[in-house]
A = this chain, B = another copy of it.
Amino acid sequence: MIVTLVYVKVKKEYVDQFIVATEANHRGSVREPGNLRFDILRQSGDPCSFVLYEAYQSEEAAAAHKQTPHYVEWRNVVEPWMAEPRRGVPYDILQPEDPSRW
């Protein structure tokens, strides 16, 4: 099981559209068979800064996410709204190690 933390800074004028597009990506992602979580967070006091918490059963499931129509649509539509390049940081999961707690 792995997590990718994706850090996103959005241009101020596109924040509302970014949230709509990312919520659509969320709805598609949580239906993928290998998905464990796809949380959307906004930094307190910094309304243009977001984190996506993307948990998958395996590297393969995370890679398959990037082939899905909802991801490809999201990636393309949000691209011009970025204030800086997105940054994805991969993590191994130490806890919970029980898959039923994901």
Contact = CB atoms under 8 A, between A and B. Distances in A.
Interface size, A (range): 20 to 34
Nearest to A38: B95
A44 interface: yes
A90 interface: yes
What are the 7 tightest A-B residue pairs by CB atom distance, in nearest-first order? A41-B91, A40-B95, A40-B94, A44-B90, A26-B95, A42-B92, A3-B41
Given A19-B94, A39-B96, A53-B53, 20 more contacts: A3-B39, A5-B51, A22-B95, A23-B95, A26-B95, A26-B96, A30-B96, A39-B95, A40-B94, A40-B95, A41-B92, A41-B93, A41-B94, A42-B91, A42-B92, A42-B94, A44-B90, A44-B91, A44-B92, A45-B90
